[in-house]
Amino acid sequence: MEHIKVAGLPFEASRIALGTWAIGGWMWGGTEEKDAIATIHHALDLGVNLIDTAPVYGFGQSEEIVGKALEGRRDKVLIATKAGLDWTGRQHRAQLTRARLEQELEDSLRRLKTDVIDIYQVHWPDEATAFDETARTLEGFRRDGKIRAIGVSNFSPEQMDACAPRHPSPPSQPPYNLFEREIENDVLPYAKKHDIVVLAYGALCRGLLSGRITMDTTFDGDDLRNNDPKFLPDRRGQYLAAVGKLDALAKEKFGKPVLALAVRWILDRGDTIALWGARRPSQLDAVKDVMGWRIDDATMKEIDKILDETVKDPVGPEFMAPARTKKVA
């Protein structure tokens, strides 16, 4: 397992982190706690030492499962969670007031069965709350020893600049994968310039890059992929055509499946950590295929060519964003 230093943490983080949105069940067709705990334990056995979660993932269920799974192992694992999403009526929107953050932190500490959170991330920017209020609140948490590092998620460079006076170089968590590369235009260059570690969520693009999705694959219940533009018939075929060609390239060049290529690609883009979402242990078996090799420049160009030739109607991850809040005066 490769590791990377994140400022403020007691030890280096694995460059693959376990993402636990699906473990929470909400928007993923439900969850099974026994399988979820086994998945977390399998991740740890594979060398993963960073678990990423959030209160909104299953409305507390993901954090509770992580807390149960890490009993007796907490000192060897880094926990990243988030704050600032109000899910009243299950219609999530950003809210970063002091009162909201104080309550969320105590709830997260309780559910996670821990005294300190290693990376505490603002889940989405809230333009209705003055960021200085949010920044002072987060700094107070760190000063009190309840959190170790402050991070941001889904922030633009301009919004990260607003953080910089109080929190220089906070780890940033944006969506990033072979099919969703918008951050290459702004967030990734900004992160490189300011020595910011990027935690890339959606590394497998909701499973599209796993190699297991077909045109006939269906999704149960409230699974968000029923509304994801990439999975609708008019686009799914384009993305699957890309997956097929990328899989052939990965096997020819490296003897690896497309899933390993997709994660390795993220790790070779800079100071990055790939968030690998899973809710069954077998979904992590390919972790071993990602380590010990790199994608050369010529193959990077071949990957870009495949994407240009196959995905003619690309779409980003915007459908996942909460309703925007009105900017404070």
Residues designated as active site? 57
Residue with tokens 């969850």: 31
Sign for the pseudo-dihedral over CA of 201, 247, 239, 281 = negative
Helix (H, G, I), strand (E, B) or coil at 198: strand
CA atoms of 176 and 203, how far apart (whole Å)? 6
Sign of the torsion angle spanned by Cα atoms 282, 201, 17, 184: positive
Q: Which amino acid is at 205?
A: C
Are 183 and 316 spatial neighbours (Cβ–Cβ below 8 Å)? Answer: no
For 309, the token pair is 């030739």
SS3 19: strand
Q: How many other C-beta atoms lie within 10 A of the C-beta of residue 78?
A: 23
Residue with tokens 């402050």: 150
Residue 67, sorted as left (phi over 0), alpha (psi -120 to 50) or beta, turns out to be alpha
**Nearest CA-CA partner of 35 in 207, 279, 219, 223:** 279
Among candidate residues 163, 176, 169, 166, the one with its CA nearest the CA of residue 190 = 169
Find out whether 260 and 286 touch, Cβ atoms under 8 Å. Answer: yes
Cα(274)–Cα(43) distance, integer angstroms: 13
